[in-house]
Amino acid sequence: MEFTPPEINLLIVAPVLIIMAAGSLGMVIDLFMPDGKKGWAVWLAAIGLLLALAQNIALWNGNYETFIPQNGVAMVVMDNFAIFLNATFLLTGLLVIPLSRSYLQRTGLEKPEYYMLLLFSISGMMLMGMANDLILVFLALEVLSIPLYIMCGMLWPRPESEESAMKYFLLGAFSSAIFVFGIALVYGATTTTAIPLIFDAVAANGLNAMIVTGLAFLMVGAGFKVAAVPFHMWTPDVYEGAPTPVTAFMSVGAKIAGFAALLRVLMLALPQASGEWVTAVAVLSTLTLIIGNVVAIRQGNIKRMLAYSSIAHAGYILIAVAAAADNPSAGVSSALFYMFAYLFTNLGAFGMVIALERNYGEGNLLDDFKGLAKRHPWLSLAMAYFMLSLTGIPPTGGFSAKFYVFGAAIEAELYWLVLIGVITSVISGYYYLRVVYLMYMFDGEGQLITGRALQFAVFVMAISTLVLGLFPEGLFNLTAEATLSATRLLAGG
């Protein structure tokens, strides 16, 4: 047995490397730039993201593997599943940048670090999508989380921002510890951390108490990241306190990354335990749907409302995960579809919240939406459309997504879960449509601060949501291919 050091093909991981390099480059440039000049960072970040996206797309259908250590199982896989997720993360980054710009200038936050941390966090998310080894999953989790902790606290003299960062950090560290413990237990039981080998070990020796306990801890860790009830408690506090563009980024990027981890663990490492985890996921999903949607009604602060709404949407994606137990292809692809559609809708809604926030924490109340339709007819229309999409009313991306998820769940015979999903969707209409109601039916002083970049981004997201509502087929095919490549990996092909 000859030792071969890890085999590495840098082109395959180039998307991540580009992002990391752009981030590091930015930090170096920052050292030599006078304090007054800050504009370059945006462009550096945007170019980095675009380059990475291009390289990422070029790898489609390649099914590459790399970082192959001595056990012969690649630590990094670049299958369509990973590429799809990477594209999601990169798009999130590309959309968050135009949303952030004017807000950062307003709040005096415009520092190159912001964009660099954004890039580092995205690189962690991408690693999460590509990870084929639990160790790498954990590392990716940390790489994506730590910059987020910092970003939450970037408005540091404001106690709310510091509180947000501190809470996120402490609870995040705690959940990470639980996650590591889970990895250790799985490793102890199977003597490997490589996801395909875990699968093989379970296939050969069956499940035992250690593996399922490890699974429980892994689910806690991932559940924290996706903000599933009862691991959601941090969400409203952190979302409210963090600078709003960071909240927007977190509500999409971190959530999707958490689901990437969850899907890798549940679907690729331990599908044989699906009989066990499907019930747990379904219960979590039920709790998440009910608590998220019901509590959202009470919120008077739009950021807190969207925090609960993001919890609720985690519940819908969990339905897809539960469906994946019985029906892997439909379950996983509907989850991917949902996350992609959610990305545009939710970021779009946050775009409006950002535009409405005059100073940090001012203009965050639902009442501030009163009368916006008169002054900003087009943006209000977009916001109304995003709200409809979040509720799941056709023709919106949100509807298509919910449709696929419920369809997958019905095929997996999770009828009661679908029922809860439907009922909670109805409930969600109550608070989403209230925003529309406030914008159109009242007179108010609300004023948006919109730059051209923000308007453009919101416009792009509204169009994307519409396209996903009218012609979901293209995306559907992509998610199906992405799922196929991941499951092929599972089959050892």
Partner 1 sequence: MTQTTLLLAPLITLLLGTAVGFVFAHPTLNARLPITRQVWLLALFPLIAFIILLLPVSALNDGQIFLWRVEWLPPFGLQLGLYYDSWSALFALIITFIGVLIVIYAGQYFNGQQDAWRFQVYTLLFMTSMLGLVMAGDVLTLFIFWEGTSITSYLLIAYKYKDPEARAGAFRSLFITGGGGIALLAGLLFVSYVSGSTQWTDILSSGDRLRSSEFYTVMLALVAFGAFAKSAQFPAHIWLPGAMSAPTPASAYLHSATMVKAGIYLMARLNPALGFTSQWFFLLTVVGMATMLCGAYLGLKQKDLKGLLAYSTIAQLGILMLLIGQEDEESYKALVIGIVAHALYKSALFMVAGIIDHETGTRDITRLGGLRRAMPVSFAIALLAGLSMAGLPPMFGFLAKETLLAATLHPNLQPVLAAVSVFTGALMLAQAGLFVIDTFLGQPRDPTVHAHEAPQPMLLSPAIPAALSLIIVLLPGPKEESAFLAAAAAAAFGSKVKVSLALFHGLNAPLLLSIIAITLGSVIWYFRWPLRAWQDRLGAAFTFNRLYAGVLVAMDKGGYVATRLQQGKLRTYLVIMILAAVSLVFFFMGWPTYSLAGLTWPGLDFPGEMALLRFFSLLVVTGSALATLVLNRDFYAILAMSAMGLGTAVWFVLEPAPDVALVQIVVDILSLVILVLTLAKLPRAQRLKAQRMRWAERPSRPLLLRDAIASIAIGCVVALITLTALTSRPRLSQVTPYYIANAKEETGAADIVGAIIVDFRAMDTLIEITVFSLAGLGVFTLLNYAARTHGDHAQGEKKVRRTFSTLGIGGRRASPFLRAPAYALLPVALVLGIVQMMFGHDQPGDGFTAGVVIGLAVALWYVVFGYTETRARLPWLRASVLIAVGVLLAIVNGIIVTLFTDHFLGNMDYGELVGLPLPGGFHISSSFLFEIAICLAVLGSATHMLNALGHPGEEEEGTA
Window 345-384: residues binding partner 1 (CB under 8 A):
none
What are the structure tokens assigned to 98, written together? 């135009």
Tokens 């990895």 sit on residue: 183
Rule CB under 8 A: is residue 231 a binding residue for partner 1? yes
219 binds partner 1 (CB under 8 A): yes
By CB under 8 A, which span of 46-54, 136-144, 336-344, 375-383 interacts with partner 1? 136-144
Binders of partner 1 among 6-25, rule CB under 8 A? 6-8, 10
* DSSP line for 433-491: HHHHHHHHHS---------HHHHHHHHHHHHHHHHHHH-THHHHHHHHHHHHHHHHHHH
**Measured from the CB atom, is 50 or 290 closer to partner 1?**
290
Number of residues forming the site for partner 1 (CB under 8 A): 103
Which one of 125, 165, 180, 372 is in contact with partner 1 (CB under 8 A)?
165
CB contact set of 393 (below 8 Å; sequence gap of 6+) = 399, 429
203 touches partner 1 (CB under 8 A): no
DSSP 227-280: T-TTS-THHHHHHHHS-HHHHHHIIIIIHHHHHHHHHIIIIII-GGGHHHHHHH
Q: Is 40 in the site for partner 1 (CB under 8 A)?
A: no
64 binds partner 1 (CB under 8 A): no
> For residue 467, which amino acid is it?
V
47 binds partner 1 (CB under 8 A): no
Asked whether position 208 contacts partner 1 by CB under 8 A, the answer is yes
CB neighbour list of residue 473: distance below 8 Å, 6 or more residues apart: none
- For the CB of residue 449, give the shortest distance to partner 1 in the complex, in Å: 26
Question: Toward partner 1, which CB reaches closer, 84 or 457?
Answer: 84
* Residue 445: other Cβ atoms inside 10 A: 9
Q: Among residues 42 and 393, whose Cβ is nearest to partner 1?
A: 393
Q: Which of 15, 280, 232 is nearest to 125 (CA)?
A: 15
Sole binder of partner 1 in the list 207, 366, 453, 466 (CB under 8 A): 207
State which residue, 185 or 454, has the beta carbon closest to partner 1: 185
Q: What residues from 270 to 289 belong to the interface with partner 1 (CB under 8 A)? A: 276-277, 279-280, 283
Q: Angle formed by the axes of helices 14-32 and 39-58, to 10°?
A: 170
DSSP class of residue 9?
-
Rg (CA), the chain: 21
Which range, of 102-110, 181-189, 243-251, 374-382, touches partner 1 by CB under 8 A?
181-189
In whole angstroms, give the CA distance from residue 257 to residue 75: 17
| Interface positions, 69-88, toward partner 1 (CB under 8 A) | 69-71, 75
Indicate which single residue of 366, 422, 467, 484 sits in contact with partner 1 (rule: CB under 8 A). 422
